[in-house]
Structure 1
């Protein structure tokens, strides 16, 4: 009881519970619309294996990979001794309104892959993205077969939008309101950060509405409260979507469900997911309403050219499957096992 009272006092008074220090890192390169970071080796741990390059989605902050000490994707892999890198786009503004998906998957991410390859002693790179970052990862792997990739990973990345209830519900509205949506994002130059934040909250509306009850029910669990605090910080730091990229996502991905076919046209060029010739890991969250298992696992059927495709289903919602408290026992060990199996000898 004493621990619960003390924890609730800290919550009410706004005292920090989570350890939100970032994992130590070094800026390696500033490229076009992105910064490349290398995380410092864990003291006393010898590095081994091919480097891991983490790819965040647009609109969501890259701190998703480094949520808090004790529950951080980055921290876990650094402690395993794997070289870890992160490409960070930073905030998106009105000046980015003309940038499409092909800019990120055809220029920014491939540049980062090649820089990591050079910085890590010319070892091939494990490329891993979460949510839209996972879609970007797959597009990148499909767009350039010369990239020095060891593998590609998509975590909580939907490839069949008919399997997403939130999108299925709004499909009739989309058919009528597509003109208004197009006019809005073109006028604004994108989707403002408050709207992306609202969209993320709606995707987990039940948890958002029952949060006060959850705090009371877990008042004696400081680690649970720390996770809530870290997720709140993540949500509060959402970015805007650039206009052209959002337009492509809305018309090509959401309305036409082109991803489900495995063939997507971007910037006048056709990408075929069947052309991917590196091992691919697909991770789906069992409680993910934004990217349900069926929507995510559909990618497995599209990767007919990949030498090895593995599907992992793990506990957690859209963010939780990546960096929830259970991920340190499920998602992360599964990822490390996959990378170790496909490391360069």
Structure 2
């Protein structure tokens, strides 16, 4: 799939194609550090678990996207939002969705909230704050409509899917092609999802490998690229029902933005949440356009991209510190 996109984007520039292929080869051959041991599990619901990043402080449950692994929030030594927040006196808890198999084919996005996320939250002895990244923010808003929480913050989360506009056309076409195969498999492979992301910004997909080809192997910049690219290319498949609901009911029909999504019988309306709420929105995001963001009590607009706002060079000043300040200032809960 990548090579097909590469041929299309560099059809008039063999020099760019050569450079991108050199970058791709360098990425494939780059050294990787040994993986870090996962944090301890403090709760489990089905295939999902809750991992504890701090033993004290206000519990803050981080809900990652159901696409790509959750570790973008704990990307690398020295670049981990979760470990940094723990040092600020908070208690980050990370939802790990586990690995779906064809046996989970009937679990849709709604089931991720009702059968996995809400039981994890109910296992805690104190109402937590929720922080959701990307589609994890969408799911966190669903959970906050059904369960009392101390507050909810979203980071680059889509809600008004109509805000994608015409950029959804290639994704819809891709789903039309892949639908029957995914239904037969019972899962939506990561390759299908990755191809959809590439279609949102194909020029950048090629250009990043051109840039990587020019980096000094083993340099700090090269190691950061490899860590981020490994995360972006990794991840478990989605249950087929999740893919169907996301593509057909969310992206196309905009059920959340139209006020037609319910969790445990509760209508999910971000503007009517009974707790403090904050939305971090990237004004330059190609994956989650600013027009799709939820309308919460507070909004912070950032000028970094979808992933850069969490792990980029300005992330600590633009996102980490403001988020820590907001979480610390939330009213005490029992």
Q: 1:328 aligns with which of 297, 316, 328?
A: 316
Alpha-carbon offset, residue 82 of structure 1 = 0.9
Alpha-carbon offset, residue 181 of structure 1 = 5.4
Counterpart CA distance in 1 for 2:28 and 2:138 is: 39
Q: 1:337 aligns with which of 325, 330, 333?
A: 325
Counterpart CA distance in 1 for 2:152 and 2:276 is: 6
Alpha-carbon offset, residue 319 of structure 1 = 1.9
Counterpart CA distance in 1 for 2:193 and 2:331 is: 37
Instruction: Name the stretch that deviates more: 194-203 or 332-341.
Output: 194-203
Counterpart CA distance in 1 for 2:178 and 2:209 is: 34
Q: Unmatched 5+ residue regions in structure 2?
A: 1-22
Checking the alignment, whether the CA contact within 8 Å between 1:193 and 1:241 is kept in structure 2 is yes
Q: 2:46 aligns with which of 32, 47, 50?
A: 32
Alpha-carbon offset, residue 31 of structure 1 = 2.1
Counterpart CA distance in 2 for 1:107 and 1:231 is: 30
Checking the alignment, whether the CA contact within 8 Å between 2:62 and 2:130 is kept in structure 1 is yes
Counterpart CA distance in 2 for 1:150 and 1:266 is: 18
1:24-46, Cα deviation, whole Å (9 max, x unpaired) = 722212221211111145xxxxx
Show the 5 A alignment for 1:1-345: 14-16=30-32, 22=36, 25-40=39-54, 47-48=56-57, 50-115=58-123, 117-118=124-125, 122=126, 124-144=127-147, 147=148, 149-164=149-164, 167-170=167-170, 173=173, 182-215=179-212, 219=216, 222-265=219-262, 270-296=267-293, 299-300=294-295, 303=296, 309-344=297-332
Aligned length: 309
Instruction: Name the stretch that deviates more: 274-283 or 23-32.
Output: 23-32
Alpha-carbon offset, residue 229 of structure 1 = 1.0
Runs of 4+ in 1 over 4 A off after TM superposition: 10-13, 171-174, 265-270
Counterpart CA distance in 2 for 1:55 and 1:253 is: 18
3-state DSSP class of the match of 2:40? strand
Instruction: Name the stretch that deviates more: 276-285 or 180-189.
Output: 180-189
Instruction: Name the stretch that deviates more: 317-326 or 233-242.
Output: 317-326
Q: Over aligned residues, Cα RMSD in angstroms?
A: 2.9
Counterpart CA distance in 2 for 1:245 and 1:11 is: 31
Counterpart CA distance in 1 for 2:163 and 2:243 is: 20
Checking the alignment, whether the CA contact within 8 Å between 1:38 and 1:84 is kept in structure 2 is yes
Alpha-carbon offset, residue 67 of structure 1 = 0.8
Cα 1:193/1:181, change in 2 over 3 Å: closer
Counterpart CA distance in 1 for 2:146 and 2:131 is: 16
Q: Unmatched 5+ residue regions in structure 1?
A: 1-7, 42-46, 304-308
Counterpart CA distance in 2 for 1:28 and 1:95 is: 25
Checking the alignment, whether the CA contact within 8 Å between 1:150 and 1:279 is kept in structure 2 is yes
Checking the alignment, whether the CA contact within 8 Å between 1:166 and 1:290 is kept in structure 2 is no
Counterpart CA distance in 2 for 1:108 and 1:188 is: 22
Cα 1:203/1:92, change in 2 over 3 Å: farther
Counterpart CA distance in 2 for 1:27 and 1:235 is: 24
Provide the TM-score with structure 2 as the length reference.
Answer: 0.81
Provide the TM-score with structure 1 as the length reference.
Answer: 0.79
Cα 1:75/1:20, change in 2 over 3 Å: farther
